Amino acid sequence: MERTHKDETAPTVPSDTSDVTAFEGDKVGRYLLLRQIGSGAMGRVFAGFDPELARRVAVKLVADGSHTLARYLRSEGRMLATLSHPNIVPVFDVGEEGDRAFIVMELVDGTSLSEWLEAAPRTRREIVRAWCDAGRGLAAAHAAGVIHRDFKASNVLIANDGHVRVADFGLARESDASTAHPVEGTRGYMAPEAFESGVATEAVDQYAFCVSLYHALTGVYPAANIERDRLPGRVRKVIERGLSMDPAARWPSMSVVVTELERAMRLPRVVWVAAAVMLVAALGGVGLWLARREEAGACEIAGDLVARELPVATRTRLFDAMRQVPGPHAAELASRVESLLGGALGAWSSAYEQGCHSPARARCLQSRLAELGAIIADAVAEQDDALLDVAIQLSRWTGELPSCATQTTVVDESREYQHAMARSLVLSRLGRGTEAIAAAERAVAAARDPRAKLRAQIRRFDLDPSTKIDRYVQLATDAQALGDDDLLAKLALAAVETCLRETVPTCAQEWLDRSGAAIARMPVETTAELRAKLSGMRGDVAARDGNVTTAAAMYQDELRGIEAVRGDKAFDLLPPLSGLANVLITLRRYDEAVAYAQRADAIAVHWLGEHHPFRATALAQLGAAKIKKGETQAGIIELERALALRIQFEGEDSPKLASMYNNLAAAYHQKNNLTSALTLVDRALALYVKSASGEEGR
């Protein structure tokens, strides 16, 4: 049989893209099409230019009249938007214009693996290395619950610098072993179960991966005589198991396949080392400047850790419960949570692969994964408000993930400790303070390492509003004895919050100074987030003391600090933006207050969507800012939108809405709409009475 690397198999999806009307020099959305660089079953691909961000991009187009292809394209955009990994081509934008749908991706200067194979003779070692890189991308997608369904060499790109990325997730679906779909993929690469019933599982991708690797190494497709081909025995065994007819007989995960291939070829472990970390604006995932380094030793498999902490069945129960949330936008909120969770798991897997060689970072990331598991488990168990809160918690969690990159101290934490700490944080964010304190106390009892115990004690005291400041004095002594300035800085900031509650005149400033001194002793590259938080606390203290000009400057510092570490769409920007809007209203700088409130609303929408009730907080502040600016009617519209969002999920008689009715009544009064104002005042008063009597919602 003639040996060839050309792909002679055919896709099972429609392949006619001739109805895509597009020419070099056209514009699609804001993107200029420069030249066509590819075409196929999933559309035509152009090298393009984004004039707003002044960068080169790749633009994939299909005609919206061809509903099947357009559906695949939109599916690819949604799936890719949840993934952030060095071995996956990142997506920037998805949209429709006229009769065309488009997806905008990073433009890779290079070629496909199939063309790379044809361009020059490749050694087995080179081929296996490239496929291992692609396998890491597939493993990250699987960890996020995304199945490629059409993996082959022509759907993997290799840049001129050798960097491999998986592309063309056009047939991607969320992992689903129970539901049959239309048969989709490329014949010759499709697992038997996919060809017969269209199921989408990790095992389907693993089969296609092994077919493509076998074809790359031998030039022929696998057949019954695989044992007689001239392949190293260990490599053949890895491929042979991945090609098992029974999905259950294949390897447990793609991560295991990659590990076994590296062992078979005696390849050193490949680790992607981050030279700089920032949040990707489109979703808040981790973006990286990449430097490749090889390192011996193996980490625990990311996919296995995810499966243990957050099984697919638990995720499925979460999404099903989200779709039953009261209100007309339950499906939209469920879809948003699916995207947020997929992005969170993809970002975690990427961070773990980059950092698992460092014991300190690996411990930190394992703790964060335990926390994510607690977020989802509590939402599934508690339902109601916990389901609405899960999107907020996922947004925060994703934004905080890069903090593990600066961990340098290994803390010996048991699994029991990790879960107790995770639950304490999740419960506190759900407003269940007594349970959160109990969880923190369990963490104190379970701690084996002095630093772990001290961290749990800080959490416990921070959660308890009755904590007195002298408790922190002893903790500070313990932190100093351990020589741990990171812990000392954090506990000092927690002490500041206690000082604000106790209103002791000099207390807050003293602890701010202690935190600042501890941060100053730490390596500057590890303190960006702490410095931002310190600025925010200085702003809170200044605002409390009436020093609003100082407060505005401190909130600006906090804002810049968070942007530098997490990007300009980070969820954690909401507190400083809100603080700035408030103090600028006091300073009568109304235009700036409105601008900051508008930005806070845009970030809330970016993470949570237009119809999440949490957005009501940002809309209410925006309405207040506009009213103070003199735009009373515009402000009333924002307040009405905020109230409508809350009513959709809580009902119009929820005591929690009393203050919103009251604020809207004041705005109506300012507009001389006395009838409406009195109606709302009466409703607010009735709800205040209802709440005080303990009827509900106390």
Confidence of residue 317 (pLDDT cuts 50, 70, 90): confident
pLDDT for 268 = 43
Given a contact cutoff of 8 angstroms between Cβ atoms, the answer to whether 158 and 113 are in contact is yes
Distance CA 606, CA 619 (A): 14
CA distances from 204 to 239, 343, 359, 564 (A): 14, 22, 33, 41
- Residue that the structure tokens 């970002």 belong to: 347
Confidence of residue 653 (pLDDT cuts 50, 70, 90): confident
Virtual torsion, Cα 238, 243, 244, 249, nearest 10 deg: 50
pLDDT for 273 = 37
Distance CA 446, CA 418 (A): 9
Neighbours of 67 (CB within 10 A): 12
Which of 91-105, 419-433, 561-575 is predicted most confidently? 561-575
Residues designated as active site:
150
The string of DSSP codes covering 208-255 is HHHHHHHHHHHSS---TTGGGSSS-HHHHHHHHHHT-SSGGGS-S-HH
pLDDT tens digits for range 339-368: 788 778 777 877 887 788 888 888 888 888
pLDDT at 634 over 70: yes
pLDDT tens digits for range 28-49: 888 988 888 877 655 688 888 8
Confidence of residue 633 (pLDDT cuts 50, 70, 90): very high
* 290 or 248: which leads in pLDDT: 248
* 489 or 150: which leads in pLDDT: 489
pLDDT for 2 = 37
pLDDT at 581 over 70: yes
Confidence of residue 632 (pLDDT cuts 50, 70, 90): very high
The whole-number average pLDDT for the span 299-308 is 75
pLDDT tens digits for range 525-554: 888 889 999 999 999 999 999 999 999 999
Where do the domains of the chain lie, and which CATH numbers do they carry? 27-267 (1.10.510.10)
pLDDT for 77 = 62
| Total-model pTM | 0.63
pLDDT tens digits for range 395-430: 888 888 877 877 766 666 777 887 788 778 777 866
pLDDT for 324 = 83
pLDDT at 431 over 60: yes
pLDDT at 592 over 80: yes
- Residue that the structure tokens 């004095």 belong to: 473
pLDDT at 105 over 60: yes
pLDDT tens digits for range 260-288: 888 887 654 444 333 333 333 333 333 33
